[in-house]
Amino acid sequence: MRKNDYIELKKFSAKIRIEILKMLKWRRYGHLGGSMSIVELLSVLYGKQMDIDPNNPKKEVRDYFVLSKGHAGPALYSTLALKGFFDKELLYTLNEIGTNLPSHPDRLKTPGVDVTTGSLGQGTSLAAGLAYTLRLENSDKKVYLICGDGELNEGQVWEAFQFIAHKKLNEVIVFIDNNKMQLDGNTEDIINPFDIKKKMEAFGFYTQEIDGHDESKIDEAIENAKKVKDKAVCIILDTVKGQGFPYFYNTPANHSPKFNKEVDEETDKVIKELENFISENGGM
């Protein structure tokens, strides 16, 4: 990746984080931790990799995105707003009665949302169905699927993985956000996932494990996955829950925190640092 492209993606990541934090600070609560851990992936997908059109979200020939860990909706909404799928002011309606931005993505409400998700595990099956449809249509488009590591507790995920691997559906690229925490604590304490890479390989996936906060490594891994023709493909992202917000590192409280005066102050600090980074690298 060229240095200029890398900087632009880093700036896009910073902008996504800023919008997430502004939105949640306004709402006074929300799914912060799992949203912040997938920012760099969303930056690469929507900033470089995906064939999408904000002016025609449902165009017939396009790539598809499935956020199976639907509680990370704030990250997706921020990304879509920044790409022009809808006005950024809509972000401040998150979770309101009658909003088009519900807590978890709804394809019937939000422009740019391809699949309704929220019940953990189900997005994987939906992504498998989309990918199989692309196979039957001889399409060269992709489905990009994000699963959470806590979500791997769901048996439905593994049933879908088995189908994807059996059919060698490389039309879908599976991303696992391995931020090592879930709602109630550390994943290894709730239900130990053991070695996720070995498990995916045993299921028949070509599997890469990378730094999930390095845009260049994410982009390279996606390019590698696209070259695989005879296997299902998976990219495991080594991430930090709440990435970019040190105040919330290593605490279960980062899953969906309530905002108070102290959190507001920390939020403002992070936003200022991100804005300074953008300014120092050529501005918005």
- Provide mean pLDDT across the span 240-269: 93
* Alpha-carbon distances of 11 from 75, 104, 193, 218, 263, rounded to whole Å: 15, 26, 33, 15, 24
Work out the average pLDDT over 109-117: 97
Residue 72 clears pLDDT 80, i.e. is over it: yes
pLDDT at 250 over 80: no
Tens digit of each residue's pLDDT (9 = 90 or more) over 120-146: 999 999 999 999 999 999 999 999 999
Give the pairing type, strands 185-186 and 181-182. Answer: antiparallel
Does the pLDDT value for residue 261 go beyond 90?
Answer: yes
Range in 5-19, 78-92, 249-263 with the lowest mean pLDDT: 249-263
Written as one letter, the residue type at 168 is: K
CA distance 273 to 62: 35
Q: Which domains does the chain have, with CATH numbers?
A: 3-281 (3.40.50.970)
**CA atoms in the 13 A half-sphere facing the CB of 150:** 23
pLDDT beyond 90 at 253: no
For residue 229, name the pLDDT band (cuts at 50, 70, 90). very high
Average pLDDT (28-55) is: 97
pLDDT of 284 over the 90 cut: no
Give the pLDDT confidence score for residue 52 in this predicted structure: 98
Indicate the pLDDT class of residue 57, thresholds 50, 70 and 90. very high
pLDDT for 34 beyond 90:
yes
Which tokens in the block code for residue 133? Answer: 């449809």
pLDDT digits (tens, 9 = 90+) for 188-221: 999 999 999 999 999 999 999 999 999 999 999 9
Query: Are 88 and 258 a contacting pair, CB within 8 Å?
Result: no
H helix and E strand count, the chain: 10, 7
What's the chain's average pLDDT?
96
Cα(153)–Cα(176) distance, integer angstroms: 13
